[in-house]
């Protein structure tokens, strides 16, 4: 039986690429969405074309009960969860002094609290089966900071710290926890940044490889961490950023 992976926000962008990369490795995949079911259904159809089973679940990953229902749906369908990819996230760029309380809270709930909730709910399942792999998607913004996305940078830095802590928590039970930190990647969400003055300067002067990355390049790193070949890797941040941040 193929391994079972849950990918939050797996219907589009980086999440879609991750879903397809795992399906190519014969994972059975559970793909979540919050509002865009059409994207998830399209991704699920592509998974079926690869000969793999999938399950599409609507989930608000900022809410405990919704996350519980997600994990329950996954285990009811497939029996267990071997891999969790905490990918769901949002990006907002605006000057620091204009960020509202609501925008701050929404950013941290979507990008950081969701990782806490999903990990906390899936770890007992992984403990019962003797192990598993949790892969969190952070960002180079969480390593470098960002003048136009302070709340985003804070949330993604928190994901890195949470990854390291959970790696220590999960290790005695065979649960590996790692992080992939993409840089400037071509997605629907990043188009505004890529074509902005700041984005063009980043590509031209700050990224040694002088280009934005592709979603498949991020997905390759995630797929590696999900597989047994990475069985001695935990607590790490794998940078996929063209050299934007080296550390």
Q: List residues with catalytic annotation.
A: 152
The torsion angles phi and psi of 115, rounded to 5 degrees, stand at -65, -45
Structure tokens at 1: 């039986």
Strand partners, 54: 29
Residue 72 burial (CB count, 10 A): 13
Which among 229, 242, 244, 19 is positioned nearest to 133, based on CA atoms? 229
* Token pair belonging to 12: 């589009």
Please report which helix (H) or strand (E) contains residue 181, including its range: strand 175-182
């Amino acid at each position: 039986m193929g391994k079972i992976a849950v990918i939050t926000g797996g219907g589009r962008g980086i999440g879609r690429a991750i879903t397809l990369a795992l399906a190519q490795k014969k994972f059975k995949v559970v793909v979540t969405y919050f509002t865009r079911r059409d994207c998830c259904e399209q991704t699920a159809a592509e998974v079926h074309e690869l000969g793999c089973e999938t399950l599409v679940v609507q989930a608000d990953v900022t809410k405990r009960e919704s996350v519980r229902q997600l994990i329950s749906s996954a285990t009811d369908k497939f029996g267990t969860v071997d891999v969790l990819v905490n990918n769901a996230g949002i990006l907002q760029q605006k000057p620091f002094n204009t960020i509202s309380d609501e925008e701050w809270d929404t950013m941290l709930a979507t990008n950081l609290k969701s990782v806490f909730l999903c990990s906390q709910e899936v770890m007992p399942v992984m403990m019962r089966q003797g192990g598993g792999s949790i892969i969190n998607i952070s960002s180079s913004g969480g390593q470098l900071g960002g003048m136009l996305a302070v709340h985003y940078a804070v949330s993604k830095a928190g994901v890195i710290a949470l990854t390291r802590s959970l790696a220590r928590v999960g290790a005695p039970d065979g649960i590996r926890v790692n992080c992939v930190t993409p840089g400037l990647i071509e997605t629907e969400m990043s188009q505004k940044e890529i074509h902005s003055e700041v984005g063009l300067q980043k590509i031209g002067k700050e990224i040694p490889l002088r280009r934005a990355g592709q979603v498949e390049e991020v997905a390759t790193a995630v797929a590696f961490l999900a597989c047994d070949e990475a069985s001695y890797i935990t607590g790490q941040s794998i940078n996929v950023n063209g050299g934007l941040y080296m550390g």
